[in-house]
Amino acid sequence: MAEILFFHHAQGQTPGFLALAEEWRRAGHVVHTPDLYHGQSFDTLEAGLAYAREIGFDHILEAGVRAADDLPSELTYAGLSLGVMPAQKLAQTRPGARGALLVHACLPVSEFGDQWPADVPVQIHAMEADPSFEEDAEAARSLVESVRGAELFLYPGNQHLFTDRSLPAYDAGATALLLQRVEAFLAGH
């Protein structure tokens, strides 16, 4: 059983985001889902990103980091797209991290320090032709090349938030495969 701190994407805590968290709970994991948007959720990615810009990406990042304050240090950090920011920062900088699941995005390691901690395993998941992942692909490949055991999984397709069953981008097959890979990752750490 893993304990996961799971951060939502730019549209907020959508029903599909919450359903993914519930999948992990049914598998026996403890999953914390802080709301970085104070109860707001958005029908479109554009509206969600506009709200993120309005409240500030730094505010979102810091709220995510603060969400870990009262939790144990031995956590797996997970994020979908925008939620990768706090997940990746915590995995790189908070002692005790058990792993990181970066879904739909990956930032350069240099955003949060000099290097990825050697003892923190990481999986990155995205669709191979996702235009939103295009600029993140180099950071993802660099991370995989520099960290032993790091994994990058690219799924066929061009959708961004393909794991959110409440959005048109949802891909059931790719999400099922992602869930299998994540379960194997969590079982090994």
Q: Give residues with Cβ within 8 angstroms of 68, minimum separation 6.
A: 5, 75, 90, 94
pLDDT computed for residue 189 by the predictor: 67
In the numeric block, the tokens 């790189």 are attached to 92
Q: What is the average pLDDT score of the chain?
A: 96
| Residue 96 banded pLDDT, cuts 50, 70, 90 | very high
In the numeric block, the tokens 């549209």 are attached to 11
The pLDDT tens digits for 143-180 are 999 998 899 999 999 999 999 999 999 999 999 999 99
CB 4 within 8 A of CB 78: yes
Residue 16 has pLDDT above 90, yes or no: yes
Superfamily of 3-187 according to CATH? Alpha/Beta hydrolase fold, catalytic domain (3.40.50.1820)
pLDDT computed for residue 171 by the predictor: 98
CB 101 within 8 A of CB 76: yes
pLDDT computed for residue 188 by the predictor: 81
pLDDT computed for residue 149 by the predictor: 84
The pLDDT tens digits for 105-142 are 999 999 999 899 999 999 999 999 999 999 999 999 99
Residue 35 has pLDDT above 80, yes or no: yes
Residue 46 has pLDDT above 80, yes or no: yes
Over residues 89-98, mean pLDDT = 97
With vertex at residue 22, the alpha carbon angle to CA 48 and CA 94, rounded to the nearest 5 degrees, is 70
